[in-house]
Structure 1
């Protein structure tokens, strides 16, 4: 059996996943497994026979246990299912990303917080961002932003006034819009923080503190649709690398 056939076989019945998961915990007779997994004894027998044909289990004195190959298959299949489940949970964030290069590994999101916009609460991600930004401690803030919104202004102004060094990377058209709509305010903001013009579009949001990060997914209208807050070290490394890629393609505004 090749890999495609094995994947199709495992996907053919959720009972197979339950039986492999149980066998990872303990060996047992078909009756034991039927009682423990709420799978009919007939189905247990049939699946065990198919597992044995594939070399995934062996039988000794009426008791089935995983072979080494079976253990590896069971472990890999469980990770696959868990990854799909995580992608489903964070789909409101992933679906609004510009491409897979902007997608963090689902394995890093076990303890992440996801806040999404809804018809009843369209500003929920923004409200969470502002609340959590005020609660976080940091000496520096680095931002990648598709838009410059007054909804974030007060929270970031408080950080700047408290001495937090801040830099912002934005697309050129958004910078020009902000500059032309209120030249005096823009001049004051640009003196307080370092603003960089990105050489190309920015369709994704990042805010990096010293040891935390927010990632924002925007729709085509520039509205924040989902906000991810995560402290996982690998997520932070990914966010810092992605931000630096944008920063390297940017120039200080004049």
Structure 2
């Protein structure tokens, strides 16, 4: 077929063309740049950071595939080039999303991993790294500064040392805070931070509930975002925090939280210590 005076040329297999684009990091950006507006060879050299001879060979390959055409001293894409640039951009975006989910996939609730692929790109994933173990905790702390209320199922991440001041400040400002956790976790917090725990428990806007059988992940509900916290099974450490404002995930999180909250019981009062004789 001949279209707009462009002669089709033989090409390798589809996978071969994808491999050609992927083998050098400048090729997809160069093609995408030409879809925005006509570009000169010197512009493309500057945009991609490659030499004039390299960009010349790349443009020749693009022309051979009928992805671009030359108009004067500038290059512009054909409809074929537009389609390839769009498809490669989508593919790279999908792989970028997959890469950030790869390390936390096995921790995700089944319902979340079953959401449409389009949802994945709207998840902000913060993973603990060997040199930055508190990255997920710091991410949660930053989100806590942007909410006026908090409900959290399995809130270990909310009770960690770096977050306590922000959590207490939220309570002190009158925000409604409800935590649903296991009795052992509440006991640990009360014994580790007795004064802070007592002060928080004295506030009418702070509610603590206990549940014996909680999921392996945490679910937090803020004003505008949902938090999913992932924990190491052995250490109990926070391995990742995922946050999003996707309505479908919000609906799921509200349902999960409500189901456990309805079965939870108020925290049992801490027994008074007997005075020493």
C-alpha displacement of 1:56:
1.5
User: Which of 234, 238, 241 matches 2:251?
Assistant: 241
Q: Deviations over 1:182-219 (max 9, x none)?
A: 79x89x69x9526374866322x343222245443433
1:70–1:144 Cα change, 3 Å: farther
Q: Deviations over 1:56-108 (max 9, x none)?
A: 223445653201221132133234435545666xx4x8624514835995643
Q: Quote the residue 2:184 is aligned against.
A: 177
User: Is the contact between residue 69 and residue 76 of structure 2 (CA under 8 Å) also seen in structure 1?
Assistant: yes
C-alpha displacement of 1:223:
0.7
C-alpha displacement of 1:55:
3.0
Question: Does 2:155 match 1:143?
Answer: no
C-alpha displacement of 1:161:
6.0
Q: What is the CA–CA distance in structure 1 between the aligned matches of 2:214 and 2:176, rounded to whole Å?
A: 25
- Counting matched residue pairs gives 235
User: Is the contact between residue 198 and residue 249 of structure 1 (CA under 8 Å) also seen in structure 2?
Assistant: no
Q: What is the CA–CA distance in structure 2 between the aligned matches of 1:32 and 1:123, rounded to whole Å?
A: 42
C-alpha displacement of 1:178:
3.8
1:154–1:19 Cα change, 3 Å: closer
User: Is the contact between residue 216 and residue 231 of structure 2 (CA under 8 Å) also seen in structure 1?
Assistant: no
Q: How does 1:14-33 map to 2 (within 5 A)?
A: 14-28=25-39, 33=44
Task: Return 5+ residue gaps in structure 1 as ranges.
Answer: none
Q: What is the CA–CA distance in structure 2 between the aligned matches of 1:29 and 1:129, rounded to whole Å?
A: 46
Please provide the CA RMSD for this pair.
Answer: 4.5
Secondary structure class of the residue paired with 1:243: helix
Q: What is the CA–CA distance in structure 2 between the aligned matches of 1:125 and 1:180, rounded to whole Å?
A: 24
User: Is the contact between residue 226 and residue 253 of structure 2 (CA under 8 Å) also seen in structure 1?
Assistant: no
